[in-house]
Structure 1
Amino acid sequence: MTRSVAAAIREALLECDPRAKVMATRKAARDWRLDRLSFAFDVDMPDTPGRPDAPELLPPNRMPKRGKGGSERGRIALWHALAHIEFVAIDLALDMAGRFGREMGETFVGDFLAVAADEALHYALIDRHLRLLGSHYGALPAHDGLWEAAHKTRGNVSARLAVVPMVLEARGLDVTPATLERVKASGDARGASILQRILDDEIRHVRFGATHFADVAERLNEDHDSLWKALVSRHFGGAVKPPFNDSARLAAGLSRDLYGSLACS
């Protein structure tokens, strides 16, 4: 009997070891692409994905300061924070495909499994870079705000799409270019190449979210912009922070007319 896509996704979600999660995620995406998994949802997604013993997860307001960006401590803290973002992003994409795939269809599953495989690659690249800097993922604390946003929207695909790809991941489009320039200025060519790869991939990831959100709005016979703003206000807090990378956002399918009215000054 052909294994279900839900079972493959659940297995990857429950992996605690980062390397094993990367491998299980990339295998699930590859097996789906090669038609080795059936479009079946015979198992539920876990409310909490597998996590390694480290890093220690702290509330955002208890996170230590990173230190000056040019210092060794500051550089390691930056790359550790990026590693954590990409590690959690694996689970965000897996959960999107596994939790909402039945109602959203095969293209949706394929899109977000592709996103999960990209995030797994991003994590692996950053983890290797951290090790070359003399550290590793888990050496510093991290916070769990990204997964909290996913948990809060676990019952509503339109809310999940509105908040996770179209707000939280879109924020990466805004902040990554400045980080890329700082890393490049420090002489870290390898790190700059990693960040450029992430930025290019994230434009496509946000576009997947925006495209599927538009499909949901049409299916619900709801005005696209009004629905997005209502969901963001309800599930995120109603404000998104400038400055915005308008060109990258537009390439990802997000117009200034959509998010500008929710921007806080």
Structure 2
Amino acid sequence: MSLRGSSLRRHIGVIAVGILAAWLMVGCSQVGAPTANDTATDSPPESSSSTTEPTVSPTPPVAPETDSDDFVTLLGNVSALCGDGAGMPGTTAYDPAAQGRHPVFVVTGDHPDYDSYFPVLWSGDGVVGNLDANQYTQAQLVACVDGRKGLELARACGPYGGSEDHRVEIYEAAEYHITVHVAATGKPLTETSVIESELAECPLLVNFSHDQTVVRRYSGPSEESLRAVLAPLIGGAEVLAGRDVDRAQASFEDFSCEHPGGGPAQGGSDRSGCP
């Protein structure tokens, strides 16, 4: 099996993803630490004796915040589609004859024993949205990636935290099965298998629970493999400008720790790594 460089994760500056963890371990081990927000105070404007009319600047549009319930619903819908072929309500209808791009969620299962997915929305112009319930409605297609066949340890990282026992193990599959569905209906369009992988990088920071010494993460298919499968369906040759799997992983871990009942498929999530 040829190993490809993690060009996408380097492009994002990382899933960090590591999504993309990287793919990664399903759980609540937070990657990185929050930073304090600096507060800046603007000086009041100087008074003027003139009576000129005030100028009102147009207010730029503000993206709505993602409601936590919408987030859980999004991951639940994606999990149901990749697991059972159920359609995702509210997504855009897919018409292969229509002009323009056909955005697609690339969905990879991080842990082979869990039915959890980290969606990244792609279009011909690159990343449209990442784990955003306010943008997933743009998706017309969903590409489900299953990398459970022939898992082997490909890279060992560590030690972490000054302990020889604390390490990260990165696994690579012998084969990645990709099935592309119509998002709105769940109807399968095409399926194929690829063997070229993109080996996940060793994470810089990892939190271990009090009784945990090993964190397992999983590599995904290479960018070239995804491009070859998805480009004809999305439309246009310049597809998949980069992946953000590691940041997706970190976002999901943060969310899971704040919402312990919010796991998409099991009715909850492992909180062993939460503070």
The TM-score with structure 2 as length reference comes to 0.23
Is the strand fraction higher in 1 or 2?
2
The TM-score with structure 1 as length reference comes to 0.24
Is the helix fraction higher in 1 or 2?
1
